[in-house]
Structure 1
Amino acid sequence: MIIIRYVLFALVSTVVNILFQYFSFIIYDGFLSLYVAMFFGTLAGLILKYILDKKYIFFHTPKSKKDDGRKFLLYSLMGVFTTFIFWGFEIGFDYMYESQNAKYIGAVIGLSIGYVVKYFLDKKFVFKG
């Protein structure tokens, strides 16, 4: 059952990420706009995914706000490597293909790979025990 929830939450977080990117491009489509959009999409997806994973995947109840902050920081640090996977695919697809939607296809592929890796990192290092 956890795997179904994890996949569902990954899909929801991916949609939120892509929507934030899409709206970012509507607001700003100038110099380095892809990187601005990726930043805001990543941030939105990260916060949502942390809340969902903490509560419904790893069943963690923070002892305090400080504990929750530490967990979020560690969760974010575990996401650095997986973010490079995601961003690499998105930037690569944007560069290789002329379609406006190519970057989103790359993002979905990169996020899918990253979320699989992130689950195991979070299980081993963030929400252990």
Structure 2
Amino acid sequence: MTIALLYLLFACISTAANIATQAATVRVYHGTLAIPLSVAAGTAVGLVVKYVLDKRWIFRWKSQNTRHDAGTFMLYTLTGVVTTAIFWGCEYFFAHQFQTEGMRYVGGVIGLAFGYVVKYRMDKVFVFTDRASADA
């Protein structure tokens, strides 16, 4: 139960970092690519925040060295491709359906929540394992 609560807390922290980055990005840049740029920036920030928290507190993973950590992060990022598609799809669906910034963020939060459930399962099987450690 502790892992589930920590994972939920870290998902909330990462989601907040993601959405705050998106909001900051669209406040600074108003061009035609504002939305895609904000979503990409938010995704990058959320990914790094979540990786650091998951690695240390959820999976209690210790990298052997910088190269090993980079390999683990790459695997973590690859599992994130699937979950990012879920998140982006949900966020863009809400943006298209409701045509408001607030509802776009609601879609993003819903997409992130669902994506994090999928991501935990994928990371447990593919990323933070002894097999992945040997391959990295």
TM-score, normalised via structure 2 length: 0.93
Q: Distance in 2 between matches of 1:30 and 1:101?
A: 19
The count of corresponding residues between Structure 1 and Structure 2 is 129
* 2:132 maps to 1:112: no
Backbone CA RMSD of aligned residues = 0.7
Could you list the runs of 5+ residues in structure 1 that have no partner in the other structure?
none
* 2:69 maps to 1:68: yes
Who is 1:14 aligned against?
A: 15
Displacement after TM superposition at 1:100 (Å): 2.1
Identity %: 43
Displacement after TM superposition at 1:99 (Å): 2.3
Who is 1:99 aligned against?
A: 100
Q: Distance in 2 between matches of 1:58 and 1:20?
A: 26
Who is 1:127 aligned against?
A: 128
Q: Which amino acid aligns with 2:4?
A: I
Who is 1:42 aligned against?
A: 43
Q: Distance in 1 between matches of 2:23 and 2:9?
A: 21
Aligned partner of residue 101 in structure 1, secondary structure: helix
Could you list the runs of 5+ residues in structure 2 that have no partner in the other structure?
131-136
Displacement after TM superposition at 1:89 (Å): 0.6
* 2:102 maps to 1:87: no
TM-score, normalised via structure 1 length: 0.98
